[in-house]
Amino acid sequence: MLNQTDLSRVELNLLVLFRVVLEERHVARAAARLNLTPSAVSHALGRLRLVLNDPLFLRTPKGVVPTERALELDHPIAEIIARVEQLVGSARPFDPAKSHRRFTIGAPDAVLASTTGQLLGSIASRAPHIDIGLIHVMPAPRGGAIGEPWHECLEMLERRELDIAMLPLPAVSPRFEARRLYDEEFVLAMRKGHAFARAPTPAAFSRSQHLLVSLSGEPRGFVDEMLARRGLKRRIALTVPNFMMALVQLAGSELIAALPRRLVQQHAGHFGLMFVELPFARKPDTICAIATKAAMKDAGVAWLMEVVFASIGAGRNRNR
């Protein structure tokens, strides 16, 4: 524990600097983010090392690596910074009707395409001066170094690059708060009158030409993994980088695609599409709105979470 003398030597800026160095793992990059010189960052770290009685960061040829003590301090220091931000922000209580704040929401492409129309309408009716930034987030590629596919997105929440994320991630660590919005199921979408709809058998499914949404262009998805377990495979005739392009391509072709039910239901009429159920059972994905518990102490973020839940979560059963 720090004694009273030690506390008098700790400035809030040192804690902010600690967090930036921990995120960047590099003194020069941290200095650039903080608009400081690398020598100033190194000097500040030296002061923190004396106060906390730990090296905190060890130099390597590629930057710095945190000590075990530094990793332990990450969450407590993040909470201290969030509480100070809340204290400073409380000088002017958050009023959504008058606020001119900007919030950032991240979600996968399909979630954005099927939920944000309703969400943005709800925000505009309650807070006409608030601006929203929508960020398309993606899971880590299969076989990557990150164990959790949404790890990077969760880190964006902790860095406050996102205020809220909507992810197929029902279980989160205690640092986060998650609110269940809806269960996402997949269906087979195709143009109206497609021959597959008259006989949607597993054999016909395997013979069909498929479209796959793949940002990387890799022609393999969860459907292929399920087919492989049954000793089957399919032909992916086309990959596209996002779900809205998938709808366009299905409308004018013989392709079929496994797409989220909510997305297809909302846009089928406009694109002249129909859908049938998948020829095999698949567990739905639970979509949750997620924010850090530290961010939820911000009245604005807490308000946004309630609007997200009310406009998307409360209506989850209407689109089933």
- Do 50 and 21 reside in the same domain of the chain? yes
Task: Say yes or no to pLDDT of 226 above 70.
Answer: yes
- Do 53 and 169 reside in the same domain of the chain? no
Last residue of a domain, one of 33, 61, 89: 89
**Percent of the chain scored above 90 by pLDDT?**
57
Number of domains in the chain: 3
- Do 201 and 70 reside in the same domain of the chain? no
- Do 138 and 203 reside in the same domain of the chain? no
Task: Say yes or no to pLDDT of 3 above 70.
Answer: no
At 257 the pLDDT is: 96
- Do 79 and 62 reside in the same domain of the chain? yes
Task: Give the lowest-confidence range in 19-23, 59-63, 229-233, 307-311.
Answer: 229-233
- Inside any domain, residue 94: no
- Inside any domain, residue 320: no
Specify the pTM.
0.68
- Do 53 and 134 reside in the same domain of the chain? no
Write the pLDDT tens digit of every residue in 84-95.
877 766 567 889
Last residue of a domain, one of 47, 63, 89: 89
300 vs 92: which has the higher pLDDT: 300
Task: Say yes or no to pLDDT of 310 above 60.
Answer: yes
Task: Give the lowest-confidence range in 117-131, 164-178, 303-317.
Answer: 303-317
Domain extent, residue 54, equals 4-89
- Do 270 and 203 reside in the same domain of the chain? yes
At 145 the pLDDT is: 44
- Do 298 and 165 reside in the same domain of the chain? yes
- Do 265 and 210 reside in the same domain of the chain? yes
DSSP string over the chain = ---HHHHTT--HHHHHHHHHHHHHS-HHHHHHHHT--HHHHHHHHHHHHHHHTS--EEEETTEEEE-HHHHHHHHHHHHHHHHHHHHHHTTS---TTT---EEEEEE-HHHHHHHHHHHHHHHHHH-TT-EEEEEE--PPPTT-S-SSTTHHHHHHHHTTS-SEEEES-----TTEEEEEEEEE-EEEEEETT-GGGGS--HHHHHHSEEEEE-SS--S--HHHHHHHHTT---EEEEEESSHHHHHHHHHTSS-BEEEEHHHHHHHHHHHTEEEEE-SS--PPEEEEEEEETTGGGSHHHHHHHHHHIIIIITTTTTT-
72 vs 141: which has the higher pLDDT: 72
- Do 302 and 169 reside in the same domain of the chain? yes
At 148 the pLDDT is: 73
- Do 15 and 84 reside in the same domain of the chain? yes
40 vs 202: which has the higher pLDDT: 40
68: CATH: 1.10.10.10
Write the pLDDT tens digit of every residue in 180-189.
999 999 999 9
- Inside any domain, residue 237: yes
- Do 210 and 273 reside in the same domain of the chain? yes
Task: Give the lowest-confidence range in 115-129, 136-150, 272-286.
Answer: 136-150
